[in-house]
């Protein structure tokens, strides 16, 4: 039997670790791992990880993942002993994302979803790392009239030639190359298809649904809902999604793809009304026509995540919204349109 060295803590690499979900993931992983956070701040923020920089088991590397990454020759990683210990796990979250400025990052997006993931997978091959990829529910395409919930066995339906093809098709290609590397190199890969997620550190003033609602409520401006009074969605709090990702990473090699999100359907107008009540706002709610390429997403079937991981979202909407309101109050004057 092969004798594997035993380390007091795993070395874990998180790409996109200064982003919204990535920063919460780094926090969680620091409980029992050494965390190497890689980001280039193209759509993320140093403020998301500033409180982690003094942690002895955390190191930030400013790097664009579309360039190869040599962990063993970085002096700041000497204490991680990468040359000897390697990297046990990789969470790949890096991908430019900005609803308001999507067109500004199209080339960076398509390269991250092709060259970038190839570079990260090459690291996984080198170190025989387990690797988890943060994919997206956009692969299921727009909600169909006769179908409410989408499971992992459903086919992907996206139009790769729209203006969002760099992201949507990029996510599908990334899943394909993950599975190809698993087949060829025997890697243990995990794919989390993440549905709508909210929480502190979401970019504000960037066209994101919940931050926009809250900011407008705080300023007594109209809350604008794309669609009608019957427009619906699901909302999962970021710490629940992080918990699901960590649990998925720990599963056996034969578990690859899982949905992560809330299966509780919410009317957007009800969410807006709740925000108005919680903020004491005088805002009005109005409805607007969907913008070009707007997709009303379906709901996640999370049966597999519940059965395999023992995972369910735990954060109540009221509690999650309150955390978002507090975050928005403290950060709205720090950034501008």
Spatial separation of the C-alpha atoms in residues 260 and 244, rounded to whole Å? 7
Top-confidence residue, 335 or 326: 326
In this prediction, residue 97 carries a pLDDT of 87
pLDDT exceeds cutoff 60 at 335: no
Residue holding tokens 């080339």?
Answer: 107
pLDDT exceeds cutoff 70 at 109: yes
Contact between 30 and 91 under an 8 Å Cβ cutoff? The reply is: no
pLDDT exceeds cutoff 50 at 337: no
Q: Annotated active-site positions, please?
A: 167
pLDDT exceeds cutoff 80 at 247: yes
User: Is this model's pTM higher than 0.85 or not?
Assistant: yes
Largest CA distance in the chain: 69
Compute the average pLDDT of residues 171-185: 97
Q: What is the pLDDT of residues 7-28, one digit of tens each?
A: 889 999 999 999 999 999 999 9
Q: Residue 231's CB: how many other CB atoms inside 10 A?
A: 15
Q: Which of 167, 135, 136, 140 is nearest to 151 (CA)?
A: 140
All structural domains of the chain with their residue ranges: 11-198+236-263+296-314
Spatial separation of the C-alpha atoms in residues 149 and 143, rounded to whole Å? 9
pLDDT exceeds cutoff 60 at 218: yes
In this prediction, residue 328 carries a pLDDT of 94
Contact between 124 and 181 under an 8 Å Cβ cutoff? The reply is: yes
pLDDT exceeds cutoff 80 at 331: yes
Contact between 52 and 26 under an 8 Å Cβ cutoff? The reply is: yes
- Average per-residue pLDDT in the chain? 92
Spatial separation of the C-alpha atoms in residues 275 and 219, rounded to whole Å? 12
pLDDT exceeds cutoff 60 at 3: no
Crossing angle of helices 317-331 and 209-218, in 10° steps, is 60
Q: What is the pLDDT of residues 134-164, one digit of tens each?
A: 999 999 988 887 788 999 998 888 888 888 8
pLDDT exceeds cutoff 60 at 186: yes
pLDDT exceeds cutoff 90 at 332: no
CATH code for residues 11-198+236-263+296-314 = 3.40.50.720
Q: What is the pLDDT of residues 19-78, one digit of tens each?
A: 999 999 999 999 999 999 999 999 999 999 999 999 999 999 999 999 999 999 999 999
Compute the average pLDDT of residues 191-197: 97
Beta strands in the chain (DSSP E): 10-15, 33-39, 58-62, 89-92, 130-136, 149-150, 189-194, 197-198, 223-226, 232-233, 236-237, 257-260, 266-267, 285-288, 299-300
Spatial separation of the C-alpha atoms in residues 192 and 322, rounded to whole Å? 27
In this prediction, residue 125 carries a pLDDT of 98
Two tokens at 53?
């920089």
């Amino acid at each position: 039997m092969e004798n594997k060295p035993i380390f007091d803590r795993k070395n874990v690499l998180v790409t996109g670790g200064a982003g919204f979900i990535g920063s919460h993931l780094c926090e969680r992983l620091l409980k029992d791992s050494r965390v190497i956070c890689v980001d280039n701040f193209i759509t993320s923020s140093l403020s998301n990880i500033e409180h982690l920089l003094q942690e002895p088991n955390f190191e930030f590397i400013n790097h664009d993942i579309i360039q190869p990454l040599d962990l063993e020759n970085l002096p700041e990683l000497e204490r991680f002993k990468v040359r000897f210990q390697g990297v046990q796990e990789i969470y790949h979250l890096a991908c430019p994302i900005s609803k308001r400025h999507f067109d500004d990052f199209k080339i960076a997006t398509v390269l991250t979803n092709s060259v970038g993931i190839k570079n990260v997978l090459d690291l996984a091959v080198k170190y025989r790392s387990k690797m988890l990829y943060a994919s997206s529910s956009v692969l299921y395409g727009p909600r169909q009239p006769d179908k409410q919930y989408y499971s992992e066995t459903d086919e992907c339906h996206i139009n790769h030639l729209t203006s969002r093809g760099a992201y949507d098709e990029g996510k599908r290609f990334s899943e394909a190359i993950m599975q190809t590397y698993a087949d060829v190199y025997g890697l243990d890969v995990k794919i989390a298809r993440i549905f709508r997620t909210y929480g502190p550190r979401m970019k504000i003033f960037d066209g994101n649904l919940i931050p926009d609602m809250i900011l407008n409520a705080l300023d007594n401006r109209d809350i604008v809902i794309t669609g009608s009074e019957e427009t619906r969605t699901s909302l999962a709090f970021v710490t629940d999604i992080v918990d699901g990702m960590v649990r998925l990473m720990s599963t056996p090699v034969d578990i690859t793809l899982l949905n992560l999100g809330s299966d509780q359907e919410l009317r957007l107008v009800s969410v807006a009304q709740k925000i108005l009540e919680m903020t004491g706002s005088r805002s009005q709610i109005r409805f607007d026509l969907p913008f070009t390429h707007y997709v009303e997403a379906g709901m996640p079937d999370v049966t597999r995540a519940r059965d395999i991981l023992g995972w369910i979202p735990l954060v109540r909407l009221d509690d999650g919204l309150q955390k978002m309101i507090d975050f928005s109050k403290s950060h709205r004057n720090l950034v501008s349109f």
